[in-house]
Amino acid sequence: MAVNPADSEVFGTLFGSDGMRAIFDDHAYFQRMLDVEAALARVQARLGIIPANAARAITAAARLEHLDLAALARSVRTVGYPVVGLVQGLSRAAGEAGRWTHWGATTQDIMDTALVLQMRQGLKLIREELLAIVKALVTQAETHRHTLMVGRTHLQHALPITFGLKCAIWLQPLLTHLARLAELGPRVEIVQFGGAAGTLASLGGQGVAVMEGLAGELGLAAPPAPWHVLRDGLAETVGFLGLLSGSFAKIATDVILLAQTEIGEVAEPYVEGRGSSSTMPQKRNPIASEYILAAARMVQGLVPVMQGAMAQDHERATGPWQAEWLALPQSFVLTHGAALHTRLIAEGLTVDAERMRRNLLADSGLSLAEAAMMGLAPQLGRLEAHHLVYKATALARASSLSLAEALAREPAVSARLNPEAIRRLTDPETYLGATSLFISRVLAKADAALGAGHSGPAAG
């Protein structure tokens, strides 16, 4: 029975993914520890530390089905860690060769290295979803490069933008996250092997050779020295997941706001029954976005747990290490769940371009007030232009006029601009500034990140 909804058979698909849970569940963790023990035996056999036939037997025995999980659970309850029971089970399964298992290692060596192997797999899954989201948002930005909508500041109409620009803004930090992810790997995919107190004294003069050999056997890097109490790489990983989930939450927040009935500019992809209400048949709630926000808040709440766990005492910690066990797997599961929801939105978002245009014009053109002011400023000066346009917006609101009509009633404006010039001045198509260029610049960065042609049509 699951206590955390992310691990629940009922709620699990909303908060996480089976793929990520399969990487971080108990069975996967124990198998990774067995993988590390087997790799250690093979390296030590090559170095002549243990017999070659012992390494072969240990490798053959290092399979989860050879463990008595009930006995392992009893051992963990007594010892507090799983490696003692795991090594006992592995030693029994290896027979006579069992006396050579875990040679020169300590519990944290095995557990940390197993965790690093899990993280490597987890980051690969994260990257796959992130790439898919990036590609989908590239398509959305290209498709809606010229789809007019109103930009909103402080939840109020501001200036015209395009939906393509909004998608490009969503996309921009995700490209940075791809770069962060590439940089993160070398800092976290590092073997842990230091023995009881980080000296490898039990292996005499061969300790470093074993550490480097174990790293090579597992496809990991070897550190200058063991990192038993140096947890910056793990904290950085969860920090990265917090940043990534925060960028997903930005998208989800915008989608929720744009999907409000009164706005109705976008909707999450339609799936029959999804987002429905038990009492209101008309409802189509933005469910994916809601769970993205929930996951992001939780992942970001776990970031300080991991950073706090960096304060580890002396050569081996007395509590902060265990806090990582609670925070790190959950961060991966929740982030991957948020990524799956974000991909669903990015690939299948319903966009109502006509509603966007109607909403843009719903304020009678007042969102073009800055355009009118800047158009008049060269002739009147900026302060006078601001004053006249301010008066015109007040008149438009009071008299149900459009901004163009209100401006035409201002003698200082009509004396300088004919009705057609005023119309052009308040046409949203003419006041998009560098919108298309910004889209192109983001898509060019996406080209570089994806290594394929996604720059779309030229700006203009």
Which are the catalytic amino acids? 277, 316
At residue 391's C-alpha, the angle toward residues 388 and 393, to 5°, is 110
Contact 153, 173 (CB under 8 A): no
CB of 296 closer than 8 Å to CB of 248: yes
CA dist 115 and 122 (Å) reads: 10
Bridge-based pairing state of the strands 156-162 and 350-351: unpaired
Nearest to 33, CA basis, from 97, 85, 75, 95: 85
**Cβ atoms of 231 and 311 closer than 8 Å:** no
The sign of the dihedral angle between the CA atoms of 23, 28, 30, 34 is negative
User: 387: how many CB neighbours lie within 10 A of its CB?
Assistant: 14
